[in-house]
Amino acid sequence: MKEVHGVRESRVLWMAIILCTVYQSYRYPLQVNSSGTSPTYSDTPFALQAGKYLLAAPLLVAAAIQCFGKIAPLKQWFIAFAVLLLSSFALLKGTEVHDGVFLELSYWLTLALVLAWSVDTVQVSSIDRYFKFLLIYALASTIIEVALFITIGRLPALAFEGSLSVRFGGFLDDPNGFAAILLLLLGWSYWRFKGLARLSILGSIVVALLLTQSWTALGFLALLVFVWISIALSKRPLPAVIAVCACTVFTFVLANRQRLSPGEFLENVLLMKQGSISDHSFPWEHWASQWTGWALLGDSTYNPYESWWAGALVNFGVIWYMVFLGVIGVLIFSLRDAFSKARGEARPIYLGLLILGCYFVFGSFNLPFPRIFPVNFIFYLFGFLAAFGKIQYTEFASSQPVALPLQYSQSESSEK
């Protein structure tokens, strides 16, 4: 009976995960996003914007009911108290200033906490299947977008006709959010597969990541590659050299397609991104001169700066900011600790989640990731599951990656 009850519990969690993952897939076929940043698109109707909240609401209620009567360790209660403090303050402030951004921040953080609390355990094999689905869905949607662009000139969101600024955002039709999903899959795939399967999958993910033209993600990727090369050169120099050559060749191909020299190509890209770079700047002098008005509880209105770590300070105040920073720190260190202890098929999953968490922090210096759905929800949920110790796996399973995207065989487990 306990096993059946656990299946029912996890069913609500997985319904929420799938809903949040695929919900915004309507953007590309309907050509709705933001007319301000996507000239060939129209603004998303209010009904579609509100739809994800309405569809997730019954799941939130069902998960909240499952939470009653559960015994939790003190650490879990501390995290829950901090999250409820963050969510309550954001909700109250949103009600006061009549801005839906505060509701958005509160809703997904609360939903992730309640879902993680509602289950006793989540099987690693289930997360592994979800990542496989995410991989197939991400690559297939990118192939479709690129094929339609080449054949009929169909532009994705954040794309300008007749320029290099054509950014492919996969099923999210959001290059910045999609890049975070790809980095998650990059970490998971690196340890999950081996041989030709790993090479082809990682190559496909990197190409999809380059097509997003997200400078924040590409900068983080460069940092990952630098760390990887430093390690790989001491052990396996050939794969590292191949990766560097592949990236170099891809850049030259893009430059030659535009009939530009590499220097001219880089200059054009920088000019193209100049407006975006200006949008990501933060007026420190302006806010420093009036710190008494926002330091305690934040400014009276929401200021939509691209840099989350800078903007959140003036929007929510120092107290809220420090609590939020503490919660994010607990999630990151929980993922790091879980990865260091993980074995078998849990190790690639924790690596992917750890990379996503690190990018969530790194990218938020330039992008408002706590507001970017569903990246925020996915990071919060799996971070809470790791912090609560609810991801279950067989510790003595094989730690070696597999060659094909299949489940670990029972024969291998029994041999171990």
pLDDT in tens, 217-268: 999 999 998 887 777 676 666 665 676 676 667 666 655 555 555 555 455 5
Residue 269, in any domain of the structure: no
Measured CA angle at 135 (ends 133, 136), to 5 deg: 65
Q: 202: pLDDT confidence band, cut at 50, 70 and 90? A: very high
| Residue predicted with more confidence, 401 or 416 | 401
Measured CA angle at 375 (ends 369, 378), to 5 deg: 130
pLDDT in tens, 36-75: 778 889 999 999 999 999 999 999 999 999 998 888 888 8
Residue 9, in any domain of the structure: yes
Residue 108 near residue 377, CB atoms below 8 Å: yes
pLDDT in tens, 271-328: 544 444 445 556 666 677 676 778 888 888 888 888 899 889 999 999 999 999 999 9
> pLDDT value at position 80?
95
Cα separation, 300 vs 303, whole angstroms? 9
Range of the domain at 104: 2-235+280-415
Residue 220 near residue 357, CB atoms below 8 Å: no
> pLDDT value at position 406?
38
Tally of structural domains, the chain = 1
| Residue predicted with more confidence, 83 or 402 | 83
> pLDDT value at position 54?
96
| Residue predicted with more confidence, 92 or 416 | 92
pTM here is: 0.84
Average pLDDT, the chain: 84
User: What proportion of the chain, given as a percentage, has pLDDT over 90?
Assistant: 60
> pLDDT value at position 239?
64
Residue 12 near residue 115, CB atoms below 8 Å: yes
pLDDT in tens, 100-153: 888 899 999 999 999 999 999 999 999 999 999 999 999 999 999 999 999 999
The number of beta carbons lying within 10 Å of the beta carbon of residue 206 is 19
> pLDDT value at position 101?
87
**Average pLDDT value for residue range 368-391:** 96
pLDDT at 189 over 80: yes
Would you state the structure tokens that stand for residue 6, as one six-digit string?
Answer: 């656990």
pLDDT at 216 over 50: yes
Residue 240, in any domain of the structure: no
Residue 34, in any domain of the structure: yes
Give one word for 156, left, alpha or beta, with left for phi > 0 and alpha for psi -120 to 50. beta
Residue 246, in any domain of the structure: no
> pLDDT value at position 305?
86
Residue 383, in any domain of the structure: yes
Residue 264, in any domain of the structure: no
Residue 158, in any domain of the structure: yes
* 66 to 44, 74, 117, 177, 310: CA distances (angstroms): 34, 19, 8, 31, 37
